[in-house]
Structure 1
Amino acid sequence: MEKLRSQNWFGKTGKDGFIYRAWMKNQGIPDDMFDGRPVIGICNTWSELTPCNAHFRDLAESVKKGVYEAGGYPVEFPVMSLGETLIKPTAMLYRNLASMDVEESIRANPIDGVVLLCGCDKTTPSLIMGACSVDIPTLVISGGPMLKGHWRGKDIGTSDVWRFAEAFKLGEINEKQLVEAEGCMARTQGHCAVMGTASTMATMVEALGLSLPNNAAIPAADVRRKVISQLSGRRIVEMVKEDLTLSKILTREAFENAIMINAAIGGSTNFVIHLLAIAGRIGIELNIEDFDKFSHNIPLIANIQPSGVHFMEDLYYAGGLPAVIKELKSVLHNDALTVNGRSIGANSEDAEVFSRDIVGTMEEPFKENSGIAVVRGNLAPNGAVIKPSAATPALMIHRGKAVVFETIEDYHARIDDPNLEVDENSVLVLKNVGPKGYPGMAEVGNMGIPKKLLEKGVHDLVRISDGRMSGTGFGTVVLHVSPEAAAGGNLALVQNGDIISLNVPERTLHLEVSDEELAERRKNWQAIDLNISRGYVNLYINHVEQAHLGADMDFLKGKSGSVVTRDSH
């Protein structure tokens, strides 16, 4: 083991060493904690404003036990916590800011290895992005999904929010019943119980090799979540001794594995934008086409909502992610290294499937169409994404007239107007909800269906935007259109009545308007004025990259290493 980073602080003699150690000792720390043992940072996104992560204090205590058992010294520290359900205008706006918080907190402090405690959607990519930029031994623990809810004899989860919304709009349930369902759905600690973005991120972590096996699916309320946290505390100390850094695990093969596993579990479209950002930080070449290429022949193996019917806890009881990974061994890079020092193939070789209703096979999957499809055309020259497993098969090839909403406010004002010119063949188009335009690229792409169509029994339309959608959502929704409208992409030029053709099998998205006409329209186009001239949001707008690049800030690409700052005493 090379000299520990922490010894540049605690190993010093004279005044500097005195100051570094003395102030730590006011917490009751004995001398031998500074004798050269690994210092393990526990990066905690606990917050009462982030309900998904509100149980992380307990998990941190379990990690500390493991660190002590392995001969390390644990130090817990907070970073910005992003609560998907509360933060306005969108948690995605602050993902890059949180990553900066993580990066600088690690680099500036006497930390030899770090455990990342993350759960809610953006906390996972932001913590990993920040840690990648420093590249020290790192292990991730997810908070775990909440147990599935029960309401009036039915199992429910976050995907039912969209169904409840439609039912309420149609008068099928009333306000009292809606409030009753609230208390029945989120009945335990943890993040969304379905394969939303939080569960997708937990799966991504395990697929990349950044967590111990089974991290992805253990429910938050299950005591085994504490057990894996304690075991992770033990393991991170050994990783420091082995100098097993992030860059040794996050190889090109690891990213390809993550894409294939994401396809097999029906993961969120948000996976694309976060994995691209992580790759950019660690220095791995990854592009949007890779998501189509490596998921193209992977069917849906995990029967989990919203692409399937079951919940994350069911996946755990059926064998967990290792069971899914074992089914994919014929296509995965099985030698890819993971944090426990073993390969991803070795970690799953003893996995068993306890329910074929939940974990299928490559030969007998639940759906043939899975993964992320990347469509291109004059409407999305740099690409857009769609999730076939959550879409309506009959709409995968579609041609219809555009119904255009210039902003999210415009959408809310008109979507249920009885006079809105829309029918079951229409294509809903929402502009100015991309990285710069919202700003932050909010989860509004899965626009609700107009009430007058719901009343006719229409529950899906082709919907197109430069924004994102919740991983819990579903429908024939084209997202992440790049370039976005606010950056002058052709999406900004679409008008009501324009014909748009979508052909997912051929991977095309085309606006049937001539180049000459688009050039004329562009003469009158003006970028949306957000009237933001200061602070982080201004920095974000001026430096955020487009969706097909991961929506990171241009100046944050690439790792800069764990530089030790100069002594300041």
Structure 2
Amino acid sequence: MRSRITIEGIERAPHRCLYKALGLTDEELSKPIIGIANSWNELIPGHKHLREIAEAAKAGIRIAGGTPLEFNTIGLCDGIAMGHEGMKYSLPSREVIADSIEIMAKAYQFDGIVLIASCDKIIPGMLMAAARLDIPAIFISGGPMLAGRYKGKDVDLHDVFEAIGAYKSGKTSYEDLIELENVACPGVGSCAGMFTANTLNVLSEAMGISLPGNGTALAVSAERIRIAKYTGMMIVELVKRGITARKILTREAFLDAIAVDMALGGSTNTVLHLMAIANEAGVELSLDDFDEISEKTPTIAKLSPAGPYHIQDLHEAGGVPVVMKELSKKGLIHLDRITVSLKTVREIISAAINRRTDVVRPVENPYMNRGGILILKGNLAPKGAVIKASAVPEELYLFEGNAKVFDCEEDAVKAILNGEIMKGDVVIIRYEGPKGGPGMREMLTATSALVGMGLDRDVALVTDGRFSGATRGIAIGHVSPEAAEGGPIGVVRNGDRIRIDLKRKRIDLLISEEELRERLATFKPLERKLGGYLYRYSKLVTSANTGAIFKVSDTSS
């Protein structure tokens, strides 16, 4: 066991002495030492209850004969960080989380690790660390939030964002807005729709790095506690068998995760995160993989914001195993790969029963014959862009309009809410990419404002930043290269015509090639004055089409 290097032998008497200062016994030190990486804090609804999850995981570890030792890492709530400077720190926090777990695991030489988190950047940060460390690892989330109830229907956070525009345009009253605010998020858990947090919860299960049920079992359920206990028990078994993270996180696991993502119409952010996790696992993954899988994967569910259902409905239908079972009928799932449950995917899905075909449609009767995410290219995004097509009505697949250009999200939101954006406009928000923002902010405030103002079917939004999983409408993000790296989005001018053709998977600036070359030749990207972590981040981060990973250091010497 790895931990023996810190515990066994005369030379390690000082190390054992320090462990004993914590109250640990020789008997505890003789067992596998399991690290518990917990992002608990009092700032995120998805994290408020993670101490309880951690205690359940510890109980499972002790049942199986291991010794758990817990530590914390950071986590921020994208919803609270949204629409201001705080969102610049969201994506960058992913790297801090991965690094902090690496530091602790290397310093203490854990035999295995349990990763406990919910929400957008924290989950991928932890999975990146697991892949980088390549020790036995299991992820468990805090689980999804229940949907709220408002005037007889299920609601969630995205309804509150959209209600702002509705209030500004006079479509709803202040009293109704506040009533919705008070009920939309009824308690702990990650926000109830198929937004980024729950998409990643689901995909962790699809990849097999978490136990069955982890993706959808509710935060407030006893089932969630039982999954945590089984997680603790199973990590000890993985240590005994020497099954490390990279034996789970294979290329086939990532391809299956992409297929599930497409079938469920998950968040566009998963493109960034799956590529970053794959990079740490030594697995090649590109935008082309997403595009190819999306072409052949039917969309069989429409969860909020694309439809009326929430994660609680998906769980009731049978969860991730049911989705994978349906996809397996088309040969889209690798059935014989191992998972942290020590069962193969085939064994897990064999017992799955679809109990709600209104939520998860049979693969023979999909919403769409292709996946929910599209990769676009064209002269405006030579290295790619991403759109959640499952949240776009098919009649809007071809859109052409005049550019309204903004160099930050705040200016665009102000223009939308002040009525300066008209039908037929294409709102361009640039210098919001990984390097240019820096931090690649989500634009949920902007897209929700368009919805609330009744413009989501008449206005497109294009950015080198990104979108929340709660976004719907013609919202194109991850435009690469970004403006800060000299990309064509940086030379778009007010009034330029932009054509978006989802059927052809293109986004184009309608000017001549000669004029585009001339604009790019004289283009000097805007430089922001930066300090602290964001300065360092901007110097190291790469484009969205790479997963916004840090530049790889040169180890050839």
- TM-score normalized by the length of structure 2: 0.94
User: Is it true that 1:25 corresponds to 2:7 in the alignment?
Assistant: no
Aligned residue in 1 for 2:540? 543
Q: Distance in 1 between matches of 2:444 and 2:305?
A: 16
- Contact 2:402/2:498 (8 A) holds in 1: yes
Displacement, 1:163? Answer: 2.9
SS of residue matched to 1:259? helix
Could you list the per-position Cα deviations for residues 268-289 of structure 1 after superposition, in whole angstroms to 9, with x for gaps in the alignment?
Answer: 0001000000111111111011
Q: Distance in 1 between matches of 2:7 and 2:448?
A: 60
Aligned residue in 2 for 1:165? 164
Could you list the per-position Cα deviations for residues 305-340 of structure 1 after superposition, in whole angstroms to 9, with x for gaps in the alignment?
Answer: 122211101111111111111111132111121111
Q: Distance in 2 between matches of 1:462 and 1:446?
A: 14
Q: 1:462 to 1:287 in 2, by over 3 A?
A: same
Displacement, 1:523? Answer: 4.8
- Contact 1:485/1:492 (8 A) holds in 2: yes
Q: Whose helix proportion is higher, 1 or 2? A: 2
Choose from 521, 531, 549 the match for 2:519.
521
Q: Distance in 2 between matches of 1:433 and 1:172?
A: 30
Q: 1:287 to 1:164 in 2, by over 3 A?
A: same
SS of residue matched to 2:313? helix
Displacement, 1:130? Answer: 1.5
SS of residue matched to 1:554? coil
Displacement, 1:177? Answer: 2.7
**Tell me, which stretches of 5 or more residues in structure 2 are unaligned?**
none
Choose from 86, 104, 110 the match for 2:80.
86
Alignment of 1:439-450 (within 5 A): 439-444=438-443, 447-448=446-447
Q: Distance in 2 between matches of 1:460 and 1:8?
A: 63
Displacement, 1:196? Answer: 0.4
Aligned residue in 1 for 2:281? 282
Q: Distance in 2 between matches of 1:123 and 1:450?
A: 27
Q: Distance in 1 between matches of 2:322 and 2:347?
A: 12
Q: Distance in 1 between matches of 2:414 and 2:172?
A: 23
379-388 vs 357-366, greater mean Cα deviation = 357-366
Q: 1:487 to 1:285 in 2, by over 3 A?
A: same
Q: Distance in 2 between matches of 1:363 and 1:474?
A: 26
Runs of 4 or more above 4 Å deviation: 453-460
User: Is it true that 1:473 corresponds to 2:489 in the alignment?
Assistant: no
Displacement, 1:516? Answer: 2.3
SS of residue matched to 2:79? coil
Q: 1:12 to 1:220 in 2, by over 3 A?
A: same
Q: What is the RMSD of the two structures over their aligned residues, measured on CA atoms?
A: 1.9
Structure 2 residue identity aligned to 1:335: D
Identity in percent: 38
- Contact 2:162/2:448 (8 A) holds in 1: no
Q: Distance in 2 between matches of 1:456 and 1:29?
A: 61
Q: 1:149 to 1:268 in 2, by over 3 A?
A: same
User: Is it true that 1:69 corresponds to 2:66 in the alignment?
Assistant: no
Q: 1:271 to 1:340 in 2, by over 3 A?
A: same
Alignment of 1:399-418 (within 5 A): 399-418=400-419
Structure 2 residue identity aligned to 1:537: L
Q: 1:446 to 1:182 in 2, by over 3 A?
A: closer
- Contact 1:298/1:362 (8 A) holds in 2: no
Aligned residue in 2 for 1:321? 320
- Contact 2:413/2:446 (8 A) holds in 1: no
SS of residue matched to 1:463? strand
SS of residue matched to 2:334? coil
Could you list the per-position Cα deviations for residues 447-481 of structure 1 after superposition, in whole angstroms to 9, with x for gaps in the alignment?
Answer: 34777x97677644221111111101111111100
Could you list the per-position Cα deviations for residues 131-188 of structure 1 after superposition, in whole angstroms to 9, with x for gaps in the alignment?
Answer: 2111100001011011110122221112313431232122233333322222211112
Structure 2 residue identity aligned to 1:27: L
Q: Distance in 1 between matches of 2:50 and 2:254?
A: 27
Choose from 3, 13, 35 the match for 1:41.
35
- Contact 1:446/1:463 (8 A) holds in 2: no
399-408 vs 270-279, greater mean Cα deviation = 399-408
User: Is it true that 1:554 corresponds to 2:554 in the alignment?
Assistant: no
Aligned residue in 1 for 2:393? 392
SS of residue matched to 1:224? helix
User: Is it true that 1:374 corresponds to 2:375 in the alignment?
Assistant: yes
Displacement, 1:44? Answer: 0.2
Q: 1:372 to 1:457 in 2, by over 3 A?
A: closer
Alignment of 1:2-401 (within 5 A): 4-14=1-11, 17-35=12-30, 37-87=31-81, 88-90=86-88, 91-330=90-329, 331-401=332-402
Structure 2 residue identity aligned to 1:81: G
- Contact 2:196/2:270 (8 A) holds in 1: yes
SS of residue matched to 1:155? strand
Q: Distance in 1 between matches of 2:553 and 2:379?
A: 30
440-449 vs 538-547, greater mean Cα deviation = 440-449
- Contact 1:431/1:492 (8 A) holds in 2: yes
Structure 1 residue identity aligned to 2:396: L
**Tell me, which stretches of 5 or more residues in structure 1 are unaligned?**
559-569
Could you list the per-position Cα deviations for residues 501-521 of structure 1 after superposition, in whole angstroms to 9, with x for gaps in the alignment?
Answer: 111111111111123222333
Q: Distance in 2 between matches of 1:347 and 1:132?
A: 23
Displacement, 1:555? Answer: 3.1
Q: 1:524 to 1:407 in 2, by over 3 A?
A: farther
Q: Distance in 1 between matches of 2:522 and 2:35?
A: 54
404-413 vs 53-62, greater mean Cα deviation = 404-413
- TM-score normalized by the length of structure 1: 0.92
- Contact 1:106/1:131 (8 A) holds in 2: no
Could you list the per-position Cα deviations for residues 409-461 of structure 1 after superposition, in whole angstroms to 9, with x for gaps in the alignment?
Answer: 3213423444x3x532222111111111111000017734777x976776442
Q: Distance in 1 between matches of 2:57 and 2:525?
A: 49
Aligned residue in 2 for 1:490? 488
Q: Distance in 2 between matches of 1:97 and 1:543?
A: 13
Q: Distance in 2 between matches of 1:25 and 1:541?
A: 43
283-292 vs 164-173, greater mean Cα deviation = 164-173
SS of residue matched to 1:328? helix
Q: Distance in 2 between matches of 1:212 and 1:442?
A: 31
Displacement, 1:116? Answer: 0.4
- Contact 1:370/1:387 (8 A) holds in 2: no
Q: Distance in 1 between matches of 2:361 and 2:390?
A: 15
Structure 2 residue identity aligned to 1:360: R
Displacement, 1:122? Answer: 0.7
Q: 1:81 to 1:406 in 2, by over 3 A?
A: closer
Q: Distance in 1 between matches of 2:508 and 2:382?
A: 10
Q: Distance in 2 between matches of 1:61 and 1:431?
A: 44
